[in-house]
Structure 1
Amino acid sequence: MKTTHLRRRSRPTRTGALATAATAVAGLALTGVGASGIAFDIVGGIMSAIAAATGESGVVGLGFDWPMAAARAAALAAGTTLLVTAVRRRRRGRGACAHCGRSEGPDHVQAGTRDDAGHTSPAGGGRERWQARGAWQRLSVRAGYLTVLLAAGYGALKVQWGLGGAVGLADPRAFGDVHLWTPGLGDTGVLALIGMALGLGFARTWRPPLHMPRWMPLTAAFVGSVMLVPVGVLGTGLRVAVALGLANPSLEGVSPWVFDVIYPWFLAWGLAMGTAAVGYHYRTRGVCRACGRGRPAFVRHARGEGAAAREGATTTL
């Protein structure tokens, strides 16, 4: 009887684990297919729109293929959905909340006390303050500042080309007559500015006065990372192939060192942005609405009360 009981319990466990693994593998495959060209679809779409508005041709002929762009977007969406499903199944399997992944009891912080990283939780005064907790949070904050630097470097390169600069060009006339609004120059500079804003916001942690839902910067960071990491991986692999004499792509008047630098740059930028976004997510998720676990995300200023009263205030969401 005991043997039969054990068998009946083990079979669903193995089946559930296999189903979770299969879902994760399928999600990774679809996400990889979708991400492989989504960067070119997004940038190509932007360049096509600018070219239609200004009548100028872009510095590179990316073009825009609606059917392929739609197929890749659908694959990316389906793959992401399957990955989220796999994560939630895994959380349920280990007895954690499927929504937030927490398994510990409710955790509240007294204002004015010190957290695990040795930072003091603010008891009020001025705008709400955030503190990174632990080594992972410190890493994510630094990744946010690294995102700012990497985005600024790429944006500076493209903007100086748009202004007529020749840094990084083997042939100063490689792009012909270009302007800042030429497709592929100023528009990518704007994307770099968005990347800088995301990185800085994740590092400093956006505060409530902006009235911005968390999903907006997190979605932007997800799209940015999905654009940057695959291009960085594929481009770096191509440059390795060139170094080994296995490929000889056209450089179109751009200095070889630009490609040697820019593809690893994209990879580092995408990974840094993703790391910063994950840290921001964990710092700001607050109390889970599904299970009630977690720390409140904000410390509100108790207006009209003295310092002694504020010291006893608890954090609220």
Structure 2
Amino acid sequence: METTHLHRESPPARTGALTTAAAAVAGLALAGAGASGIAFDIVGGIMAGIAAVTGESGVVDLGFDPPMAAARAAALAAGTTLLVTAVRRRRRARGACSRCGRRPDNGAADNGAAGHGGRDDAGRTSPAGGGRETWQRLSVRAGYLTVLLAAGYGALKVQWGLGGTVGLTDPRAFGDVHLWTPGLGDTGVLALIGMALGLGFARTWRPPLRMPRWMPLTAASVGSVMLVPVGVLGTGQRVAVALGLAQPSLEGVSPWVFDVIYPWFLTWGLAMGTAAAGYHYRTRGVCRACGRGRPAFVRDTGAGVPAAREGAGTTTL
């Protein structure tokens, strides 16, 4: 009679899984603690610099504490490092490349072989379609959503800087302000950057606008880290106000602005992150560690055969 043996996970494997999980949890905790105030540190630093140049005070006093800003940045960096370490350990445990996450069994799909679903790294659709194609469509739409959300926020701040009163219960709530007043025009510029990033991620622009891919991806990461925590905390505060658990601090601003702007920030940050992730997967090209994948962009040689674009390490936005 045959005996079926149950293969249990070995103690070293369990220890490795627990170590990976612990690193992920610690990374999330540190990154969350660092991200919780990083938006105010960045915007507060920008406003402090503008105030020093123009001599004007900002529309709000965010303050800027360099030691606390440095501590939050360090926590965010340490948490991100732990998360990346955990992801790479998990990939190795699954037999995938720790750098790109590709596995040998899906290497053919990444290199454009027929019969595998979705899109390849360059965004071309393989015959089978599938979930990867759905993900790519979602990320492109998230890019356009990022453009709309950034434009809406920028328009609100710029019209305040130009003397507009939309969203104000007191027309003089901010006193005498100008477009260059800290907290108005500068945030409008940040919104413009967000619009450019969203459009670039959605369209995957080609030359002559060329830049290393890490630049837009880093900018989008910073933007998401700024927006998502503020959106979560602000939305929670508005819920607490609605339940009578906290007192509103309106200071001449219409209540609907706060009710709208914090969920707006949350959606904007998530959309930007989704669009950036899609752009990353469309343009990551051939992995330098495992050699899987294919060039991110191809050019037509004129003979009907696409050739890999030179400079595989540089993509365009």
- Superposed displacement of residue 210, structure 1: 2.5
Please give the residue correspondences for 1:185-224 in structure 2 after superposition, counting only pairs within 5 Å. Answer: 185-224=184-223
Matches of 2:256 and 2:198, distance apart in 1: 26
Letter in 2 for 1:294: G
User: Which of 101, 104, 111 pairs up with 1:108?
Assistant: 111
Instruction: Work out whether 1:236 is the aligned partner of 2:235.
Output: yes
2:152 is matched with which residue?
153
Instruction: Work out whether 1:137 is the aligned partner of 2:136.
Output: yes
Instruction: Work out whether 1:55 is the aligned partner of 2:60.
Output: no
1:202-246, Cα deviation, whole Å (9 max, x unpaired): 000132532311110001000000000000000000000000011
Instruction: Work out whether 1:71 is the aligned partner of 2:71.
Output: yes
CA contact (8 A) 2:111 2:292 kept: no
Q: CA RMSD in A?
A: 2.2
Matches of 2:45 and 2:181, distance apart in 1: 14
Matches of 1:92 and 1:115, distance apart in 2: 23
Matches of 1:235 and 1:12, distance apart in 2: 44
- Superposed displacement of residue 108, structure 1: 2.9
CA contact (8 A) 1:56 1:183 kept: yes
2:88 is matched with which residue?
88
Matches of 2:19 and 2:136, distance apart in 1: 32
Q: How much identity, in percent, do the aligned residues show?
A: 82
The 1:158/1:296 distance shift into structure 2, 3 A limit, reads same
Letter in 1 for 2:214: W
- Superposed displacement of residue 11, structure 1: 1.1
Letter in 1 for 2:54: T
The 1:115/1:138 distance shift into structure 2, 3 A limit, reads farther
The 1:159/1:71 distance shift into structure 2, 3 A limit, reads same
CA contact (8 A) 2:35 2:226 kept: yes
Matches of 1:109 and 1:131, distance apart in 2: 9
Q: Give unmatched runs, 5+ long, in structure 2.
A: 1-6, 126-131, 313-317
Matches of 2:174 and 2:116, distance apart in 1: 54
Matches of 2:41 and 2:297, distance apart in 1: 38
CA contact (8 A) 1:109 1:315 kept: no
CA contact (8 A) 2:300 2:307 kept: no
CA contact (8 A) 1:232 1:266 kept: yes
3-state secondary structure, aligned to 2:176: coil
TM-score, structure 1 normalization: 0.88
- Superposed displacement of residue 249, structure 1: 2.7
2:128 is matched with which residue?
none
How many residues align structurally?
295
The 1:176/1:279 distance shift into structure 2, 3 A limit, reads same
- Superposed displacement of residue 314, structure 1: 5.1
- Superposed displacement of residue 286, structure 1: 0.7
Q: Give unmatched runs, 5+ long, in structure 1.
A: 1-5, 122-128
- Superposed displacement of residue 131, structure 1: 5.0
1:287-306, Cα deviation, whole Å (9 max, x unpaired): 1110011132111121xx4x
TM-score, structure 2 normalization: 0.88
Letter in 1 for 2:257: V
Letter in 1 for 2:161: G
Letter in 1 for 2:42: I
The 1:204/1:16 distance shift into structure 2, 3 A limit, reads same
The 1:118/1:95 distance shift into structure 2, 3 A limit, reads closer
